[in-house]
Structure 1
Amino acid sequence: MSAIYKSEAGRAAIQARYRETLQKWPVPAEQLHIPTRLGDTFVLASGPQGAPPVIALHGSGSNSSTWRGDIASWAQDFRVYAVDMPGEPGGSTESRPELGTDALADWLDDVLAGLNISSASFVGMSLGGWTALDYAIRRPDRVTRLALYCPGGIGKQRFGWIFKNLVDHLFSNHDLRRSAAIVTGLNIKDHAEILDDIALTFTHFNPRTGKLSLFTDAQLATLKMPVLVIVGADDAMFKSAETARRAEQSITDATLRILPDTGHAILGQTEAVHEFLRK
């Protein structure tokens, strides 16, 4: 049994749901398996060959299904590579690299080499946002633009890790969809399918524990590429006001979008990100 899943049956259930989602992918896509030093990485490639590349990195406890509502727009102008993060419930290796080391940057070096691209724009959500920031700081010549949804690493976390302490408490009442709604800030009536996916995942998946490290002001100041930061004003996971303040003060070319009445799960920003990537 893999350490990232609570049981083999749970692993099978999550993977079956993921396959169903991929079968409904709204645009033609190639399913790629890129060898890396951590193991195979699953990449879903959409959009015209030769178009400017975009690397999309999802958050903790998720996979590239995160981008199913965005891909039809973005793939019009870009070759979008939705990359499943290692150690998360997707199609990549279940090896979980240590954060705050060179491991994730080295892994992304391997991914870009396997895709035969030297640099790209990056879109990242939550943990994926932290990973994209980490890579841009370590490999600034490889990142042309950064679009970040509720990124880790700028504002402090409200809880030890995404979903960790809060979910342990809320999910103990066994009303998993309701608990997922509280954690994400999504409305049960309008987002039942998303909340069902989250509930299924956290029934069977062991998320990362521990805090994401904060990038220093000096590290953020090294970012010279355009950076779009989108946060929800009511984010239960990160202090979004602090994220916005530090990004504005420390990142040279930062554009901020603070969404009122929005929690950690940020939806409806497809065109804003598309416009930013096209600039």
Structure 2
Amino acid sequence: MSTIYKSEAGGREIQRLYREALDTWPVPAEHLRLPTREGETFVVASGPRNAPPVLLLHGSGANTTMWRDDIPSWSRKFRTYAVDLIGEPGLSAPSRPPLNSDALALWLDDVLDGLGITSAAIVATSLGGWVAVDYAVRRPERVTRLAVLCPGGLGRQTTGWIVKALLLRPFGRWGLRHSARAATGLESPESGPVLDSVVATFMHFNPRTERLPVFPDEALRGLTMPVLVIVGGRDAMFDSHETARRVRQCVPHATVNLLPEVGHAILGQTEPVAEFLRG
């Protein structure tokens, strides 16, 4: 635990808050613990058992709770599997295999095998979006549909927000809140609870710091499944305009939605994603 948290006590506090949140999951759910080559992986399964499967992959510094507002809609017609990414502040193993390898694809092979499914649609965001695209490139036969929000690895990763975060670090929780707002773009009063959750996590959590590998054009051209990409025009972490341009160029059948006034944290896309999943 100490490898991803600033202290053992901080890690226990994050997991305590997470378990409390799981107790208020908005629909009936099963908690699954799957053995994988990277260690145990925690999954929250909702929806009819015989419905088409949808794998949900969250971003850095998050866990399955980021999907709680989407689950009531998506789980009506789909069997949703909200996966805690390894190495992130959930209940999966703290393992962080190298990104410039097939290690995460092999891990997802184990997850799908453990769930007893041969293929699934994937909905993912940020770091999870990178993992999803990497898997769809390497295992196109196992991904029926791919929906990614503010994904990494498609547009240039920017660093201006990191400088601001370093300048604000000496100001404790106040500084962390302001740097989190700059990174996520969560400016509106309604997004306050989400921002509070981000701040509470990063008080104790050490995120991955390496740059996400950028997928070459030829890899993106191999994405033959239906693809939906949603990006925010004011994303402080990735060049969303470059992401949109490259996807339109390399994946011409993809649907690309660029939301001009939205930052990195993209909220309120439950129904557009549900419509895409329904085909």
Q: Same fold (TM over 0.5)?
A: yes
Counterpart CA distance in 2 for 1:242 and 1:120 is: 28
* Percent of aligned positions that are identical: 60
Cα pair 2:231 2:258 within 8 Å, conserved:
yes
1:80-159 aligned at under 5 Å gives the runs 80-159=80-159
**Deviation of the 1:71 alpha carbon:** 0.4
Q: Mean Cα displacement is larger for which, 28-37 or 163-172?
A: 163-172
1:1-279 aligned at under 5 Å gives the runs 2-159=2-159, 166-174=164-172, 175=174, 176-187=176-187, 189-279=189-279
**3-state SS in 2 of match to 1:121:** strand
Q: CA RMSD in A?
A: 1.3
Number of residues paired by the alignment?
277
Counterpart CA distance in 1 for 2:78 and 2:122 is: 12
**Deviation of the 1:260 alpha carbon:** 1.9
Seen in structure 2, the aligned counterparts of structure 1 residues 31 and 259 have a Cα distance that, compared at 3 Å, is same
Per-residue deviation, residues 127-186 of structure 1 (Å, max 9, x unmatched): 0000000000000100010000000010010029xx755533334322132322221111
Q: Mean Cα displacement is larger for which, 181-190 or 71-80?
A: 181-190
Counterpart CA distance in 2 for 1:126 and 1:182 is: 16
Question: TM-score, structure 2 length as denominator?
Answer: 0.96
**Mind listing any 5+ residue stretches in structure 1 that lack a counterpart?**
none
Counterpart CA distance in 1 for 2:164 and 2:137 is: 30
Counterpart CA distance in 1 for 2:185 and 2:50 is: 38
Per-residue deviation, residues 75-120 of structure 1 (Å, max 9, x unmatched): 0110000000000000100111110211000000000000000000
**3-state SS in 2 of match to 1:122:** strand
Cα pair 1:159 1:166 within 8 Å, conserved:
no
Counterpart CA distance in 1 for 2:167 and 2:90 is: 25
Per-residue deviation, residues 181-229 of structure 1 (Å, max 9, x unmatched): 2211112522221111111111111110111010001000011001100
Cα pair 2:164 2:179 within 8 Å, conserved:
no
**3-state SS in 1 of match to 2:263:** coil
**3-state SS in 2 of match to 1:76:** helix
Counterpart CA distance in 1 for 2:23 and 2:171 is: 33
Counterpart CA distance in 1 for 2:202 and 2:162 is: 10
**Deviation of the 1:37 alpha carbon:** 0.4
Counterpart CA distance in 2 for 1:37 and 1:146 is: 24
Counterpart CA distance in 1 for 2:241 and 2:164 is: 20
Counterpart CA distance in 2 for 1:58 and 1:248 is: 24
Counterpart CA distance in 1 for 2:60 and 2:165 is: 13
Counterpart CA distance in 2 for 1:58 and 1:241 is: 22
Question: TM-score, structure 1 length as denominator?
Answer: 0.96
2:167 partner letter: H
**3-state SS in 2 of match to 1:256:** strand
Cα pair 1:124 1:132 within 8 Å, conserved:
yes
Cα pair 1:178 1:188 within 8 Å, conserved:
no
Counterpart CA distance in 2 for 1:93 and 1:158 is: 28
**Deviation of the 1:13 alpha carbon:** 1.2
Counterpart CA distance in 2 for 1:75 and 1:134 is: 25
Cα pair 1:164 1:207 within 8 Å, conserved:
no
1:170 partner letter: L
